[in-house]
């Protein structure tokens, strides 16, 4: 809340530049020597993570990018909810009611049961691949909407962590 009050959601270019500078300083102070960066970022237990969250939530370009990149893929997932997408055949069978299980796979002790279950698993894997490809295609098609300020920050984070990890392996 303090960051939003001081920088006003980075609406002005000067505020955005100052907020990016603050994030870069916090990145160097808090993440460079951290043993478990992933945990720190995921739990939001550091100032960098909290300021980053406030920065990205107030950034209209980030919302535009996410909407553009994920909308079609998410709608496809919601529309195609006719069957479960479990890849473990044991879990897939349990999710169906007994009548529907019999209709889809046949009697449990029959030879065609295993064949149909294998075919269902293959269909599920193909479906998951197509859905994942839809998400990737959406991301690739929307890169031009990715906010430059956010790209710069992610690049800086990558560089900082890469240099820190390289120096750690040299010391060990």
For the stretch 37-70, pLDDT in tens is 788 878 877 888 888 888 888 788 888 999 999 9
The pLDDT, as a whole number, for residue 129 is 93
| pLDDT for 3 beyond 70 | no
| pLDDT for 86 beyond 70 | yes
pLDDT-based confidence at 71, cuts 50/70/90?
very high
For 57-61, 82-86, 153-157, 165-169, which range has the lowest pLDDT when averaged over its residues? 165-169
The pLDDT, as a whole number, for residue 172 is 42
Write the secondary structure of the chain as one string of H (helix), E (strand) and C (coil).
CHHHHHHHHHCCHHHHHHHHHHHHHHHHHHHCCCCCHHHHHHHCCCHHHHHHHHHHHCCHHHHHHHHHHHHHHHHHHHHCCCCCCCCCHHHHHHHCCHHHHHHHHCCCCCHHHHHHHHHHHHHHHHHHHHHHHHHHHHHHHCHHHCCHHHHHHHHHHHHHHHHHHHHHHHHC
The pLDDT, as a whole number, for residue 48 is 87
| pLDDT for 26 beyond 70 | yes
Q: Stretch 76-89: mean pLDDT, rounded?
A: 77
pTM for this predicted structure? 0.68
What is the residue extent of each domain of the chain? 2-59+147-171, 63-141
For the stretch 88-144, pLDDT in tens is 767 878 888 888 888 888 888 888 988 988 888 888 889 889 999 999 999 999 999
End-to-end CA distance of the chain: 41
């Amino acid at each position: 809340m303090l960051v939003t009050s001081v920088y006003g959601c980075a609406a002005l270019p000067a505020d955005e530049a100052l907020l990016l500078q603050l994030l870069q300083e916090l990145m160097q102070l808090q993440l460079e020597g951290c043993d478990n960066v992933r945990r720190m970022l995921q739990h939001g237990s550091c100032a960098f993570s909290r300021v980053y969250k406030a920065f990205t939530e107030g950034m209209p370009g980030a919302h535009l990018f996410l909407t553009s990149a994920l909308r079609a893929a998410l709608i496809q997932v919601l529309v195609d909810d006719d069957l479960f997408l479990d890849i473990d055949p044991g879990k897939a069978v349990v999710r169906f009611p007994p009548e529907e299980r019999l209709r889809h796979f046949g009697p449990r002790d029959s030879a065609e049961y295993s064949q149909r279950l294998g075919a269902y698993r293959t269909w599920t894997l193909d479906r998951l691949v197509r859905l994942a490809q839809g998400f990737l295609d959406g991301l690739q098609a929307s890169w031009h909407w990715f906010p430059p300020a956010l790209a710069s920050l992610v690049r800086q984070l990558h560089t900082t962590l890469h240099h820190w990890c390289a120096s750690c392996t040299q010391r060990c």
